[in-house]
């Protein structure tokens, strides 16, 4: 279960809202049950349920089982959001693969502009995916940016890669890039990046990467890149 209400000095924790609902009314756990808690920053504990009310649960921390540590490399997926459930799928899989952050992009041919409500729902999907796969560090959602703003923000700190059907072989994209170097991987909308947007990225030093002969949907391209980057 995910909670930020953890008091390590007193060895107690509390679950509220959707996490309390999951524990009390979906899993129907009783006092004395053992659970794992995580704080979203990489820390996790073994804990026991000590008390419940209709809307909250009290726990006693037993043992810390994971400690926050810096990830080996930060991987940001800059993506022009695909429509409807496809974005939810992308967020779930990116969480499982260990992507650090999603940077929603506004591009010339973008058709989806996720508002705050949509991002809140995606955050719930991401937390559920963390619980399912045992990830203790949350994936973050950056504020939506134009492609130009994104390049400006990340060029100095990240190695930029842009998925483009005329790019280089993806397998070679990580050769010579230090394993600790942060990466930003950009995926275009269903209509693709415009020539100007591709040029903007290339002029900023981005490496164009191809994912094979077939044209993949945005979310398939994003997850292919994420898998290669996290396993590289």
Q: If binding is defined by CB under 6 A, does position 119 make contact with ligand SAM?
A: no
Where in 174-203 is the site for ligand SAM (CB under 6 A)? 187-188, 190, 192-193
For every residue of the chain, DSSP letters joined together read -B-S-EETTTTEEEEEHHHHHIIIIIS---TT-EEEEE-BBS-EEEEEEEEE-SSEEEEEEEEEEE-----SS-EEEEE-PPSTHHHHHHHHHHHHHT--EEEEEE-TT------HHHHHHHHHHHHHHHHHHT--BPPEEPPPEEHHHHHHHHTTTSEEEEEEEEEEEGGGTTTTS-TTS-EEEEE--TT---HHHHHHHHHTTPEEEE--SSPPPHHHHHHHHHHHHHH-
Write down the least CB distance from residue 105 to ligand SAM, Å: 10
Q: If binding is defined by CB under 6 A, does position 111 make contact with ligand SAM?
A: no
Write down the least CB distance from residue 79 to ligand SAM, Å: 9
Write down the least CB distance from residue 224 to ligand SAM, Å: 8
Identity of the residue, 98 or 192, whose beta carbon is nearer to ligand SAM in the bound complex = 192
Q: If binding is defined by CB under 6 A, does position 218 make contact with ligand SAM?
A: yes
Candidate residues 6, 59, 130, 211; the one interacting with ligand SAM per rule CB under 6 A: 211
Write down the least CB distance from residue 159 to ligand SAM, Å: 17
Q: If binding is defined by CB under 6 A, does position 221 make contact with ligand SAM?
A: yes
Contact positions toward ligand SAM, by CB under 6 A? Answer: 163-165, 167, 187-188, 190, 192-193, 210-212, 214-218, 221
């Amino acid at each position: 279960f995910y909670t930020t209400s953890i008091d390590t000095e007193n060895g107690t924790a509390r679950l509220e809202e959707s996490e309390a609902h999951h524990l009390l009314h979906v899993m129907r756990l009783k006092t004395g049950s053992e659970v794992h808690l995580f704080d979203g920053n990489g820390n996790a504990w073994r804990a026991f349920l000590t008390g419940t009310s209709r809307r909250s649960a009290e726990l006693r921390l037993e043992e810390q089982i994971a400690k926050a540590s810096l990830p080996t490399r930060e991987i940001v997926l800059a993506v022009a959001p695909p429509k409807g459930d496809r974005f939810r799928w992308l967020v779930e899989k990116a969480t499982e693969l260990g992507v650090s952050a999603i940077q929603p992009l506004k591009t010339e041919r973008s058709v989806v502009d996720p508002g705050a409500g949509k991002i809140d729902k995606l955050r719930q999907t991401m937390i559920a995916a963390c619980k399912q796969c045992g990830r203790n560090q949350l994936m973050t959602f950056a504020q939506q940016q134009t492609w130009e703003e994104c390049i400006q923000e990340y060029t100095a700190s990240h190695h930029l890669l842009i998925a483009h059907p005329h790019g280089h072989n993806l397998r070679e994209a990580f050769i010579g890039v230090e394993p600790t170097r942060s990466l930003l991987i950009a995926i275009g909308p269903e209509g693709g990046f415009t020539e100007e947007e591709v040029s903007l990225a290339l002029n900023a030093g981005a490496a164009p990467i191809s994912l094979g002969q077939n044209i993949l949907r945005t979310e398939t391209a994003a997850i292919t890149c994420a898998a290669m980057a996290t396993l590289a």
